[in-house]
Amino acid sequence: MNIVSELHQDHVNLDRLLEILERKVTRLRAGNHPDFSLMAEVVDYVGDYADQHHHPREDRMYAFFRGRDAALDKAFDKSEAEHVTLKQLSTRLAESIDGILHDAVMPMDQFTDQLEAFVKAEKAHLRHEEKAIFKPLESLASDTDWQALAEQLPQSEDPLFGERQADQYRALYKALVEDMKSSDS
């Protein structure tokens, strides 16, 4: 499995979490109040995993392939700029949720708009990378490229969806499964 396959799987997993947050937006718009503690954990996971594992691997991949194709270079630049924006959005959202959990007053429609903007930005970013970067790289790169890149990248184990879930995310995973069951009923 090459790095693009691993990053694609990360995108699939992140998209699952974004779908849950998207359902939360729908519930909020309908006047329901979600489990803000669970939402805080999801936002924390999305932000932390992206910042500590996913984006650094992507950035190193971009650097490895930079200069080979002008359109790809432009897509790399856009993606790297989005990484910065997504970090800002996730930090702001996490701060808002933390405020709500600590009884700060925030209009629910303002919070819902913020959550929806975060979800839309994340989903648009994933689509951009899949279409403008991952697909072209699959055509451009050779097996030798993938092997050389793999030797340069640190291994990364997803603490939520990986084989060995980190303790801090084990409870989150169970809560998400329960929350999905309750939202389907």
Distances (CA, A) of 180 to 16, 17, 24: 11, 11, 11
Look at residue 168 in the predicted model and tell me its pLDDT.
54
pLDDT in tens, 25-80: 888 899 888 788 888 888 888 888 788 888 888 999 999 999 999 999 999 999 99
Between CA 79 and CA 59 the distance in angstroms is: 9
> Which residues, in sequence order, are CB contacts of 28 under 8 Å at separation 6+?
34, 108, 111, 112, 115
pLDDT in tens, 155-181: 655 555 554 444 555 566 666 667 656
Q: Is 87 left (phi over 0), alpha (psi -120 to 50) or beta?
A: alpha
Look at residue 176 in the predicted model and tell me its pLDDT.
67
Predicted model pTM:
0.83
Question: By CB neighbour count within 10 A (0-12 exposed, 13-18 middle, 19+ buried), where does 9 fall?
Answer: middle
Look at residue 148 in the predicted model and tell me its pLDDT.
92
Look at residue 54 in the predicted model and tell me its pLDDT.
83
Fold adopted by 3-156: Four Helix Bundle (Hemerythrin (Met), subunit A) (1.20.120)
Look at residue 128 in the predicted model and tell me its pLDDT.
97
Any idea where the domains of the chain sit in the sequence?
Answer: 3-156
- The tokens of 176 are what? 């998400």
Between CA 34 and CA 57 the distance in angstroms is: 33
Q: How many CB atoms lie within 10 A of CB 39?
A: 22
- The tokens of 4 are what? 């693009």
pLDDT in tens, 107-143: 999 999 999 999 999 999 999 999 999 999 999 999 9
